[in-house]
Structure 1
Amino acid sequence: MSSPASVLPALSALGVRPAGLELPVRDALPALLAALDGPGTAVLCAPPGTGKTTLVPLALAARGLRVVVAEPRRIAARAAARRMAWLLGEPVGGRVGFTVRGERVVSRETVVEVVTTGVLLQRLQRDQELSGVDAVILDECHERHLDADTVAAFLLDVRETLRPGLRLVAASATTDAAGWAGLLGGAPVVEATGTAHPVEVVWAPPARPVRPPDGMRVDPALLGHVAAVVRRALAERPGDVLCFLPGVGEIARVAGLLSGVKGVDGVDAELLQVHGRAPASAQDAVLAGPAAGRRRVVLATAVAESSLTVPGVRVVVDAGLAREPRTDHARGLGALTTVRASRAAARQRAGRAGREAPGAVYRCWAEAEHARLPGFPAPEIRVADLTGFALQAAVWGDPAAAGLALLDPPPAGALAAARSVLAAIGAVDAAGRVTGRGTRMARLGLHPRLARALLDGAPLVGARRAAEVVALLSEEPPREYGDDLTAAWRTARRGGDGYPARWRREARRLAGQLREEGDGRERGPRDQRGQRGQRDQRDQRDQRDQRDQRDQRDQRDQRDQRDDSAGDPGAYDDVVAGTVVSLAFPERVARARGGGAFLMASGTGAEPAAGSRLGAAPWLAVAVADRPARAASARVRLAAVTGEETARAAAAHLLVTAEEVRWQDGDVVARSVERLGAVELTVRPLTAPDPALLRAALLDGLGREGPGALLHWSRGALELRARLDFLHRTAGAPWPDVSDPALLAGAENWLEPELSRARRRADLARIDAGQALRRLLPWSTGEAARLDELAPERLELPGGTRVRVEYGGEQPVVAAKVQQLFGVTSTPRIAGVPVLVHLLSPAGRPAAVTADLASFWQDGYRAVRAELRGRYPKHAWPEVPPGLTRE
């Protein structure tokens, strides 16, 4: 095996500065190069700050290879390219370039290109052989983004079927090395030992317990504690501070606490913010380094977690939280949720403090909690919306994703839901195979829903307007723009912050792609590959002309905006925005139901923020909503005002007209309903409902309320039911089970023909339940004739009195006056069961209860006689009852 000394000359010949040659990863380069010369795959585990992102690609380029480095985020792609270009002493766009969505800085001399995984995914779909590329490095693969997992699977497929010589490296500081090595076919694991500089861990938990995160909500007490830890770090340590927070809202709150606007003195440091929505200029300012004599506090989301060196940072403050996607497939809602950061993420974040010098990380949780954190972030493929993944797999030729090499298989339910969406928008056929329309959607580099909105919306509202609204949906505007998409659109048009420039760039990209598809021909993958050379030339021409055309485009945008202002621009903007959002999310068109509440076609309630213009609209097209745990309705985050006509057109596949006959509010409701999903559009009563539906509704009512509540039960009917129940319990078959479940199960038998004639509750109330029950008697066996013998209604006593038998309990019960029972020396039995006898006074009041009359006459009667003969002296109270003798 070659030594580091044999690798460094090639890097020096490439022009790498001495600072790059000293990076710790250099010691692992010989083993890595040997692995790529052998099996062609490798897993590189290198701690943060060792140079895996910057020196390794240059080492491969020094051997004459053209390298593509895939990064999970745009900011990381730009930063990695700039760092490598600096190591070569040249600007980006020379031998090192980058491509992210909407921005490409490369040239003919480029040998190392840094791209986002989304860009690489599109490139693979356009050119499966990845022509001209010798090696691909999947950086920060531990983050398990869905695009990254998909790219890895496609690259392995390419190696196996088309280009076995394509070299592939999975690189990270904290990845599951064994899992990736197995996925890459037993690839060697190469480890770079040591970090650039040591990082001290300082445990800084809150003094008092804080509430755990709930959805997007983070306890303000924790954010206050994080701000306090930042102040502490500034006081205790030199250098800049990089503070990790879960989202933009938390960054803004902590920034307020540190700047003094929250009632506390501001810190003596420059406050900077880094997140995915920040403009490139703000991100570049952070990466440019501190001004002389001025300390900085950089508040960042996870975008600064990997492949990023923030100059001047010596301290990291970690709030210990992260945001992960969650999808409610039943309601069609997706959202981010706040979770505890994994141990792998914590290691990555801590590594940012040791990139340039010894540093420290302040962790805002207790050391004892650290071991209980998850080892790695949840793979997106397990928790995210899989619609985009399903389309990519279908375009690749594997709709079920069964042949893709994935660390985690897609959940069957989530994949089925995704394929259902694709079928609804015409992206796949009934067998799941991609259609020409689906191929066009995949080429747009958008979520399939947004691709559908762009393709179908452009003919309705114009390509430029459709592209602008779709760009708003794909590059969600800042929260301060509000929840009204139309108002956010106008704000973006006016400019004023960093978002509009990025939005305009994306809108132009989408409009340009629509122009390319202007002939309307739906090309398949083969057509796509056949046009690869032309498209590469067009990309280079567009890059050369981009700067010259920018001013002209800005002028055209301003002119178009002035034109849109004629007449009633607000109303037309609503029409445009509502149309595009409805096409993207047809199951989220929502109709007002009073009080500022809406019902979406999916069946989920939705509520805009209090005071929002959206609350007064008759219809909304909801673009972004989330449903907090235990909440009855979803919260509308972004929506457009729309109308019923637009909703009907966009969600035509959800439009049904049906006869509905059901039991509701205690009676049968029969109506003809036109529905848009769960939203009722028109309702009219049915005069002649389908008999089968009517019968089902009546049976449902019987099941809900019970036959005892709906039918007419006379005393005789109740007694008959009790007698039959007694015989079923004591004798069994053929005597029927007359419990509620049994009666409901056989209702169509014993309630006919009355059930066929019934139409409403009142008709059921007229059915004589006793007459209907007699249909259940065992007439065919002849046993029905023995009903009065086996379970008589009355018992005849010695004096000729007939007393009623009650069958409601475990034993039959009779009640008679003591004198009426003279001569009954033992307990009567019915069907072999002793009768429970209630002995009454001459006035009919209870005197005794027994199931053993013989014992009563021997023992209990004396006490009863003594008590009652004084009260009722006119009645006979013999000392020895008739029929008995005293010993």
Structure 2
Amino acid sequence: MAPTPRTAALDALPVREAVPALVAALDGHGCAVLCAPPGTGKTTLVPLVLAGLVGGGPRRRVLVAEPRRIAARAAARRMAWLLGEEAGGAVGFTVRGERVAGPSTVVEVVTTGVLLQRLQRDQELAGVDVVVLDECHERHLDADTVAAFLLDVRETLRPELRLVAASATTDAAGWARVLGGAPVVEAPGVSYPVETVWAPPARPVRPPHGMRVDPAQLAHVAAVVRRALAERDGDVLCFLPGVGEIARVAGQLGGVDAEVLQVHGRAPAAVQDAALTASARRRVILATAVAESSLTVPGVRVVVDSGLAREPRVDHARGLGALATVRASRAAGRQRAGRAGREAPGAVYRCWTEAEDVRLPSFPAPEIRVADLAQFALQAACWGDPDAAGLALLDPPPAGAMAAAREVLVAVGAVDPEGRPTARGQRMARLGLHPRLARALLDGAAALGGRRAAELVALLSEEPPREYGDDLAAAWRQARRGADGYAARWRAESRRLERAAGGPGGRPADGTGRASARVSGPGDDAAAGLVAALAFPERLARARGEGAFLMASGTGAELGEGSALRRAPWLAVAVADRPPHSASARVRLAAAVDEETALAAAAHLRTDVEEVRWEDGGLTARTVRRLGAVELDARPLRDPDPALVRAALLDGLRTEGLGLLRWSPEGAALRDRLGFLHRTLGGGWPDVARDDALLDRADDWLEPELSRARRRADLGRIDAAQALKRLLPWATGEAARLDGLAPERIEVPSGSRVRVDYSGEQPVLAVKLQELFGLAETPRVAGVPVLVHLLSPAGRPAAVTADLASFWRDGYRAVRAELRGRYPRHPWPEDPAAAEPTRHTNARLRR
């Protein structure tokens, strides 16, 4: 008996009104952008219509790509229900490790990752007529990549392939542009009003950093859930950033009169199904972003939004990639709030202030801008576009991230130095793993066997629960005997990877063959260390104190108190993050390894270099063997490269200053004179006031003395005055004017030649007052009046002026009245302008 479609449910879906326009757009252009609010049926009705299963159109094979496994399964089951069937008939689904489909399947819902693998195996997507990219507003990297590949297929191989980009909230204009000017079809929505309740914490909480969320924030979210249960009817859907936060809030909801469900990508299928099924009992559903879109959670009338989300981040300098907790965008907030109004009027409790809301980002950051691009770069290379320059992407990949990705791919043997995929790389791309994990699976299988390597890589591909501990080998043993949801998923993924690892292997990356040969029948601890080292060679870390390590990337790493790994001589760090204001990463998951395994797994990081450094006030020269930033051993270097010595001496001059050279008084004075001319005249007069400016021109003034130097003492023998003269503008002839423009001494009326001090902003002439009698105008150098320090007969400052004429007229009388009685043997004429200048006392003058 043929199944009976649920006609009433199909007719009630609001997107039906937009279907004719969508079909017309696809018939005319081949691509379309569908904008439909949540709950309108874009995920369920549209694929059925395009497949001809509803509405009587021609029969077509339709692929629906969803960003998450939970959404793919739910969408397929909902469509099958609308047709009066079970999933696996006309509608099926395929997610990683699970396929429910058969020969009669016409609509297949897949994750974007699964579709990416299919495209790499079969670029034409033979037999597929329409592809629907659902929830494209989320801007997951796999979804952006799939869209770019499909457009390439349409342009070069299959112009008849139809493509729909569907979303509730998206950059419709941007997607229409990427799809070659595709029409935008908007579907009306039937949403009920949702009241916004602003519910910020009573006291400030610390902002999220890395994976950390302030416990006070989570306690507040739990309190808001309790408030919502008391104030409103219906189920409560609470959005939290991750699994850990869900578990913490669930623990704080003990005793509430409701069933508490924890829904996330790692949750058992039974829990996910329970959340998507109506219940007679009131429920609190704690969920990650998986519940934002793609699926309807029945019975929800209230949403509690923590305002937090998780986005990928990568620190290329430290070799650390992880998820980071961020403030959710306004678009995500609208999506979340809409969940409360799908079936009836509802309310959203937002755990922040209305003033904060306007400062939130408009949309989530596209993954391509912030994520580790190694997997994307490998997919692009296998597609035939290593630089991704020819792919139609909403956002181009950042050049720095692509360069870092290329380095990883070359190191694991996935691409050649020009970026072309190797046979090994082609195989790695089909495994559905990050290239690092693909390398660990292939090379680990050669050393340990496919099953053990697959089990360990499965642990690394989905980080085990924190309660499993930080020891990878211990976590492996826990997963083997575990009966929780994680252990069940781990077993399924292990079986998938074991099958994928079978068959002929590619050539190992440099050193991995040696690692395989040297590990003979390793136990669990050694096996865990080998696989983690193969996956993350830059995170191999050597102990530098109990619990403290230095990774090959140069980043410090620390283990928590009580860790069984604290005394390990070497670690292979699988998961680490860096706490706020900390110079070291905190190790979350690692395995102990020996040095031999570390050197084999990270052979591409091994170096033997001559190293000459400025240390502790002198030169040290060594031959150093390193694994990345980790020093393995060193021995003295008797005859270092002169270029390395020169560079180290320059470092010493930068560290301790040019005072290491021999500066006579004349040399210091010359530097000051040249500095004055540079400030005053510029042109060819060199900048000598700053050490770094002089060191940047070391070739111009310190050679050949610097190249002959071999130690600190040799620097002290370099005559700075003679060296500085090399910087004078000899080529223009200006050097000959040095003494005229900035004379070392100025002759004053008494006949004395007095030194000018050029060390300040203005040249200073310090001279006894009596030696300037009769001098009406202030002396000038390079057109600048000197600052005259008029000294008493005892050589102490009596007055300072840059205008002698004004001083003789207005200031001299006060100085004369003060000093004449103190120094009666010296002349103090009433009219200094007409007096005879002198260096002597009155008695000497009378003689």
User: Above 0.5 in TM-score?
Assistant: yes
Matches within 5 A, 1:533-548: none
State the Cα distance separating 1:444 from its structure 2 match: 0.8
Written as runs of structure 1 = structure 2, the 5 A alignment for 1:434-583 is 434-515=421-502, 517-518=503-504, 572-583=523-534
Q: Quick one: distance in 1 between partners of 2:110 and 2:145? A: 15
Tell me if 1:655 matches 2:606. yes
Amino acid at match of 2:259: E
Alignment correspondent of 1:267: 256
User: What's the offset of the Cα at 1:429?
Assistant: 2.0
Partner of 1:710: 660
How far 1:694 sits from its partner (Å)?
A: 1.2
Is 1:761 the counterpart of 2:748? The answer is no
Which of the residues 325, 328, 332 maps onto 1:338? 325
Shift in CA distance, 84/749, structure 1 to aligned 2, threshold 3 Å = closer
Q: What is residue 41 of structure 1 aligned with on the other side?
A: 31
- CA distance 1:722–1:359, change in 2 (3 Å): closer
Question: Comparing 56-65 with 453-462, which one deviates more in the overlay?
Answer: 56-65
Query: Partner of 1:670 in structure 2?
Result: 621
In structure 1, runs of 5+ residues without a counterpart are 1-11, 260-265, 523-567
Cα 1:835/1:172, change in 2 over 3 Å: closer
What SS class does the counterpart of residue 29 from structure 2 fall into?
coil
Aligned residues of 1:342 and 1:377 also touching (Cα < 8 A): yes
**3-state SS of paired residue (1:16):** coil
- Residue 21 of structure 2 is matched in structure 1 by 31
Report the secondary structure of 1:422's partner residue: helix
Which residue in 1 is equivalent to 2:85? 90
Partners of 2:447 and 2:195 in 1: CA distance: 58
Distance 1:403 1:750, change over 3 A: closer
| Distance of 1:734 and 1:46 partners within structure 2 | 68
Unpaired segments ≥5 residues, structure 2: 509-519, 838-847
Aligned to 1:305: 292
Residues 609 and 831 of structure 1: CA distance in aligned 2, closer, same or farther (over 3 Å): closer
From 158, 169, 191, the counterpart of 2:153? 158
1:117 aligns to what? 112
SS in 2 for 1:215: coil
1:838-869: per-residue Cα shift (whole Å, max 9, x none)?
66555555556667778878887776666556
For the pair 1:76 / 2:48, whether they are aligned, the reply is: no
User: Which residue matches 1:689?
Assistant: 640
Matched AA of 1:345: A
Change (3 A) 1:728 1:521: closer
Give how far 1:735 is off: 8.3
Distance apart, 1:768 and its partner CA: 4.1
Task: Give the total of aligned pairs.
Answer: 816
Question: 2-side partners of 1:827 and 1:34: how far apart?
Answer: 91
RMSD between aligned residues:
3.7
User: Against the structure 1 CA distance between its residues 129 and 848, is the aligned structure 2 distance closer, same or farther, given a 3 Å change threshold?
Assistant: closer
> 1: CA distance between counterparts of 2:711 and 2:444?
48
Q: Deviations over 1:767-801 (max 9, x none)?
A: 44455556778999898799699846685986x87
Alignment of 1:266-285 (within 5 A): 266-285=255-274
Change (3 A) 1:763 1:220: same
Partner of 1:563: none
Separation in 2, partners of 1:772, 1:412: 44
Residue 6 of structure 2 corresponds to which residue in structure 1?
Answer: 17
Show the counterpart of 1:220.
Answer: 215
CA drift at 1:251: 0.9
Task: Determine the C-alpha separation between the residues in 2 that align with 1:335 and 1:316.
Answer: 28
Partner of 1:201: 195
Q: Quick one: distance in 2 between partners of 1:364 and 1:862?
A: 77
SS in 2 for 1:406: coil
What are the superposed Cα offsets for residues 482-505 of structure 1, whole Å, 9 maximum, x if unpaired?
A: 222222111111113111111111
In the TM superposition, residue 427 of structure 1 has moved relative to its aligned partner by 1.4
User: What is the correspondence of 1:369-388 to structure 2 with a 5 Å cutoff?
Assistant: 369-388=356-375
Q: Which one of the candidate residues 48, 62, 81 is aligned to 1:58?
A: 48
* Contact 1:20/1:55 (8 A) holds in 2: no
8 Å CA contact retained: 1:204, 1:229: no
Rounded to whole Å, the distance in 1 between the matches of 2:148 and 2:79 is 27
Residue 152 of structure 1: how far off its partner (Å): 1.7
Describe the shift of the 1:593–1:133 C-alpha distance in structure 2 as closer, same or farther (beyond 3 A): same
Aligned amino acid, residue 88 of structure 1: L
User: Which residue type is aligned with residue 765 of structure 2?
Assistant: V
CA pair 71-765 structure 1, distance change in 2 beyond 3 A: same
Aligned to 1:525: none
Residue 827 of structure 1: CA displacement?
A: 7.4
Instruction: Work out the CA distance in 1 between the residues paired with 2:250 and 2:684.
Output: 81
Separation of aligned partners in 2, 1:716 and 1:585: 59
CA distance in 2, matches of 1:786, 1:132: 86
- Give the direction of change, closer, same or farther, for the CA distance of 1:227–1:431 in structure 2 (3 Å limit): same
Give per-residue Cα distances to partners, 1:529-562, cap 9 Å, x unaligned: xxxxxxxxxxxxxxxxxxxxxxxxxxxxxxxxxx
Aligned partners of 2:554 and 2:630 also within 8 Å: yes
Q: How does 1:104-253 map to 2 (within 5 A)?
A: 104-195=99-190, 198-206=192-200, 208=202, 210-211=204-205, 212-253=207-248
Q: Distance in 2 between matches of 1:863 and 1:368?
A: 66
Q: Distance in 2 between matches of 1:664 and 1:45?
A: 64
Amino acid at match of 1:518: P
**2:631 counterpart letter in structure 1:** E
Which amino acid letter does the alignment assign opposite residue 655 of structure 1? R
Report SS of the residue matched to 1:613.
coil
C-alpha separation between the residues in 2 aligned to 1:153 and 1:760? 59
- Seen in structure 2, the aligned counterparts of structure 1 residues 836 and 651 have a Cα distance that, compared at 3 Å, is same
Note if 1:633 corresponds to 2:584: yes
Partner deviation per Cα, 1:623-679 (whole Å, 9 max, x = no partner): 222234543222222222222222221221121111122333433232222222222
Cα 1:132–1:874 change in 2 (3 A) is closer
- Give the whole-Å Cα distance in 1 for the aligned partners of 2:684 and 2:259: 90
Letter of the 1:243 partner, please give it: C
> In the alignment, residue 494 of structure 2 is paired with which amino acid?
A
Residues 97-129 of structure 1 deviation map (CA, whole Å, 9 limit, x = unaligned): 211111112222222222111111111111122
Instruction: Provide the residue aligned with 1:425 in structure 2.
Output: 412
* CA–CA separation in structure 1 for the residues paired with 2:393 and 2:110: 21
In the alignment, the residues of structure 1 paired with residue 408 and residue 452 of structure 2 have an alpha-carbon distance, to the nearest angstrom, of 25
Question: What's the CA shift for 1:615?
Answer: 3.1
1:286 aligns with 2:275: yes
Match of 1:616 in 2: 567
Distance (Å, rounded) in 2 between the aligned partners of 1:773 and 1:473: 61
Q: Distance in 1 between matches of 2:683 and 2:585?
A: 55
**CA distance in 2 between partners of 1:845 and 1:671 (Å):** 56
Q: 1:763 to 1:81 in 2, by over 3 A?
A: same
Contact 1:135 1:167 in 2 (8 A): yes
Identify, as 1 or 2, the structure richer in helix: 1
Q: 2:388 aligns with which of 378, 401, 410?
A: 401
Counterpart contact for 1:817–1:844, Cα < 8 Å: no
Separation (CA, whole Å) in 1 of partners of 2:161 and 2:316: 38
Matches within 5 A, 1:699-778: 699-707=650-658, 709-719=659-669, 721=671, 739-741=689-691, 743-745=694-696, 747-748=698-699, 750-751=701-702, 754-770=705-721, 772=723
Conserved 8 A contact 2:669-2:757: yes
CA–CA distance in 2 between the matches of 1:21 and 1:189?
Answer: 23
In the alignment, the residues of structure 2 paired with residue 242 and residue 38 of structure 1 have an alpha-carbon distance, to the nearest angstrom, of: 41
SS in 2 for 1:614: coil
Structure 1 pair 241–792 and aligned structure 2 pair: CA distance change class (3 A): closer
Structure 1 counterpart SS, 2:405: helix
**Does residue 317 of structure 1 match 2:267?**
no
